[in-house]
Amino acid sequence: MKLPPEPEICIIGAGFAGLCAGVKLKEAEFTKFTIFDSNSEVGGTWLVNRYPGCACDVPSHLYSFSFAPKPDWTKHYSSQPEILEYLKDVTRQYGLYPHIRFQTRVESLRWNANSLKWIAVIHNTLTNEKQTLAYDFVISGVGMLRIPNYPEEFCKFTGELIHSAVWNPDVDLTGKRVGVVGTGASGIQIVPTIVDQVDKLTVFQRRAPYLMPKIQFEYPEVCKWALTKVPGLRWATRATIFWLQELLYIGFQHNTVGAKLVEKISTVQRRSQISHEMLRKKMTPNYEFGCKRILPTNDYYPAIQKPNVNIVSGKIVQVKDKTILTDDGASTDLDVLILATGYKPHDYFAPMNIIGKNSEDILHTWKTEGPKTYLGTVCSSMPNYFSLLGPNTALGHSSVIFVIECQCDWMVRLLQFMQKRDMYSFSVKEAAEDDFMHFYDEGHTKTVWGNANCGSWYVNSKGKITTLWPYNLVSFWRLMNGLNTEAFDFK
């Protein structure tokens, strides 16, 4: 049995990862692929997240594909609408729309050891029809920040309840008593955007976040012209941003001078922007810098000092009708409650069910034992399966688009290697997987993520980091730049 000239490839997700996979496959002349997405348009997280103030916290010229530069970004940090339009433009430019089946979910995958194919159950949510199809390879681009986290206690709230990831634009916040639960990436963008619209705004803060100044500006037309016309300027701009972001990595090393220096920037911002001593104390984190995501913003501290804002740091102990009770005795009546409570990254690819080699239930294994991968891209229990931006590959300091491109380039090299040698399937050896996981775990012993406890979503229920890449991006590029075929069993 050998790999057919045109293998059938299933891509799950039409966000950055799925679209990148489609582009790279087309360039390598693998054209028989289908991208499945449960939404009605491309964009993934940048389609479904539409909350007020939604924007990226990585500079625009780095949070984009290297093969599809956009010289006319409006701002240094882009908003959700502009990123979504960029992804639509990429999809049109590279002719991916004909390959996409929208409003269609891959419900389950099962590895067939006899045919060496993945058997997929596909569900069209418009017609409610289901199909069973066979694929030579599967590429997962579903990402980790996809399933909204709804803490159970808030289901008892009888007012308007909105999750930031499922925003309801029909709810009018004007003149309302509004509560925001959470001060992560979405919370610190929502609060400054709605503060002048609402009557009273209560922010329920579990742990104060570390903030950093946001170097935000609009690109003047002359800059856009130069980035379009001047040879090499676009590349130099992207490279400069890349290396500046790489420098931030020193801030995530455990107990180092570099980390203390970066933390100092956050401290200076807090002291200069918050005038009231008691509020400044309330907004000072009590955990090591970098343990949770560092949030760039210039307007959050000024927003929470407005007279209609109250910060509640007490633990929420009860939700009764429209009232939130905390353990410090505070009682807050609300009309609207906004949950900026993030996602469930450790649900991985759920609700999709995957049965891998030897009938292994992959989701059960990953939830009970933690995921094991090789290069954060393939798994010994899932032959012919690629995971883009899955376990072990998220970042705390730079652009995940770089990671996705590295993974897609490596994936194409592996497929081309197999095609030239008439190979039909690959399975990474467990020894190679174990070696990589040892390298991965060892890396975290030197980072703040592996040494601090702050309730971060980076850590699973067992206290193990399964999400973040522990090294800088240059290290990831070096690993992915080659192809160690000795790490695989081929058929």
Specify whether 164 is located in the same domain as 302. yes
CATH number for the domain including 23? 3.50.50.60
How many separate domains does the chain show?
2
Same domain, 275 and 359: no
Residue 118 and residue 160 in one domain: no
Which pLDDT score, from 0 to 100, does residue 413 have?
Answer: 98
Q: Distance between CA atoms of 108 and 118, rounded to whole angstroms?
A: 10
**Residue 480 belongs to some domain of the structure:** yes
**Do residues 327 and 357 both lie within one domain?**
no
For residue 321 the two structure tokens come to: 């009708």
Helix axes 233-247, 221-229, angle to 10 degrees: 110
Mean pLDDT of 166-172: 95
**pTM beyond cutoff 0.85:** yes
Q: Do 62 and 242 form a contact (C-beta atoms < 8 A)? A: yes
Q: Across residues 161-190, what is the average pLDDT? A: 96
Shared domain for 311 and 459, answered yes or no, is no
pLDDT over threshold 70, residue 478: yes
Radius of gyration of the chain (CA): 23
* Residue range 158-168: mean pLDDT, rounded: 96
Who's near 200: CB < 8 A, 6+ residues apart? 177, 178, 308, 309, 310
Q: Is the pLDDT of residue 150 over 80?
A: yes
Instruction: Encode pLDDT of 255-271 as tens digits.
Output: 888 889 999 999 999 99
pLDDT (tens digit, 9 = 90+) per residue, 202-242?
999 999 999 999 999 999 999 999 999 999 999 999 999 99
Residue type, 467: T
pLDDT at 4 over 70: no
In the prediction, which pLDDT does 1 show?
Answer: 55
CA atoms of 84 and 253, how far apart (whole Å):
33
Q: Average pLDDT for residues 305-309, to the nearest whole number?
A: 97
Same domain for 476 and 358? yes
SS3 state of residue 355:
strand
Same domain? 407 vs 423: yes
Q: Are residues 211 and 297 in the same domain?
A: yes
Residue 2 has pLDDT above 80, yes or no: no
C-alpha to C-alpha distance for 307 and 1, rounded to whole angstroms: 72
Asked if residue 299 and residue 260 are part of one domain, the reply reads: yes
Confidence at residue 324, expressed as pLDDT on a 0 to 100 scale = 97
Going by C-beta distance under 8 Å and a sequence separation of 6 or more, which residues neighbour residue 22? Answer: 11, 33, 35, 94, 96, 99
Please compute, for residue 34, the number of CA atoms within 13 A of its CA located in the half-sphere on the CB side. Answer: 15
Residue 455, pLDDT score: 84
Q: What is the mean pLDDT of the chain?
A: 96
Instruction: Find the domain containing 174 and state its range.
Output: 152-216+228-339
323 with 433, same domain: the answer is no
In the chain, helix, strand, coil percent, each to 5? 35, 20, 45
Domain C-terminal end among 291, 323, 339: 339
Q: Rounded CA gap, 350 and 200, in Å?
A: 37
**Is the pLDDT reported for residue 144 higher than 80?**
yes
Q: Tell me: pLDDT of 288 over 80.
A: yes
Claim to verify: residue 204 and residue 330 sit in the same structural domain: yes
Q: Determine the pLDDT at residue 468.
A: 96
Q: CA 266 → CA 281, 289, 303, 359, distances in Å?
A: 14, 9, 17, 49
Label residue 249 by pLDDT band (50, 70, 90). Answer: very high
* Confidence at 124, pLDDT banded by 50, 70, 90: very high
CB contact at 8 A, 206 and 455: yes
State the pLDDT at residue 453: 85
3-state secondary structure 299-351: CHHHHHCCCCEEEECCCEEEEECCEEEECCCCEEECCEEEECCCECHHHCCCC
pLDDT for 258 equals 86
**What pLDDT does 52 receive?**
97
Per the domain annotation, does 2 fall within a domain? no
Percent residues over pLDDT 70 in the chain: 99
450: in domain: yes
CB distance 400 to 389 below 8 Å: yes
Q: Is residue 65 part of a domain?
A: no
329-386 confidence digits (pLDDT tens): 889 999 999 999 999 999 999 999 999 999 999 999 999 999 999 999 999 999 999 9
13-29: per-residue pLDDT in tens? 999 999 999 999 999 99
Residue at token pair 């911002």: 269
In this predicted structure, the answer to whether residue 180 has a pLDDT above a threshold of 90 is yes
**Residue 74: inside a domain:** no
Collapsed DSSP state (helix, strand, coil) of residue 339: strand
Beta bridge pairs of residue 459: 465
How many Cα atoms occupy the beta-carbon half-sphere of 190 within 13 Å? 29
Q: Can you give the pLDDT at residue 3? A: 56
